[in-house]
Structure formats: C-alpha cells, structure tokens
Amino acid sequence: MKILFDKIGYNEKPFRQEIDGVVVDGTLVKSGYHRVALQGNMDGRVEFICSGCGVEIEQEISTPLKLTISDQIIEDKDDLDIIEFLNGEIDISFIIESEINSLKSDYHYCTKCSSSDEPLEMEF
C-alpha cells in the first residue's frame, strides 16, 4: 500500500495492511512540515529460525509501532526511528517488511533450546 505524502493532513488517517499473516492497524498524521507520524500495532504470527538448533519456529508477535516518516533527508540525533521516502510516496508494505526483518534479526529459541541447560557455544 502506497500513500502520497501530500495526502496526509493534520487529521489522523487510519490504515490497515496485512503481509504474510502480520496485520498492522495504525494511523498516519502530519507532525511537521516534512514529517508524518505513524502509530499503530503489529500483530500476527512470524516464522523465525531457532538461534540454537536452526529449526524453523512460529511465534506470535504483538508490537507497538511509533515511527517518524519524512520526505526529505533528516539528520536528527534525537529521533533515530525516521524512515525517509524521497519519492513522495509512503510505502506501508516496505515499513511492515522492514519491521518484520528487524524482529527476525534478533535471537529466537525453540522450546527445546530455551529449556536446555546445555551452554551455547560462544565466540569472542
């Protein structure tokens, strides 16, 4: 789903998008001259790879989203959750896929590995 940056006003614009079993319900509202605030919740089931044994596992996720979207390059040390769309379109699908991939990059363990007392191999 793509929304033109200029179509977002100071009144909240609700949206709902589903990708691969993950649903995001949220709102977009203009928060500044070149900024839009995205607030919502991301819920669904995501397949992860167990960091201990490599088995595919499916876990339920429920994550709040609070992001700033801009249509120009912004260098702000206070707000690191800025997503820039320089073509004038906000791509909600891209944001959801990016957030899912961010969750997948974390460590996840299956029930077998999380209940095991065996130490994991660590490299330094």
How many folded domains does the chain comprise?
Answer: 1
Average pLDDT for the chain: 85
pLDDT digits (tens, 9 = 90+) for 97-107: 999 999 888 88
**Domain assignment of residue 101, yes or no:** yes
**Domain assignment of residue 124, yes or no:** no
**Domain assignment of residue 117, yes or no:** no
Show Cβ contacts of residue 28 under 8 Å, excluding neighbours closer than 6 positions. 3, 8, 12, 13, 15, 36, 37, 38, 69, 90
**Domain assignment of residue 121, yes or no:** no
Q: What pLDDT band is residue 1 in, cutting at 50, 70 and 90? A: confident
**Domain assignment of residue 94, yes or no:** yes
Structural domain boundaries enclosing 58: 2-110
pLDDT digits (tens, 9 = 90+) for 52-63: 888 899 999 999
pLDDT digits (tens, 9 = 90+) for 62-74: 999 998 888 877 7
**Domain assignment of residue 36, yes or no:** yes
* CA pair distance 30, 11, nearest whole angstrom: 8
**Domain assignment of residue 25, yes or no:** yes
**Domain assignment of residue 120, yes or no:** no
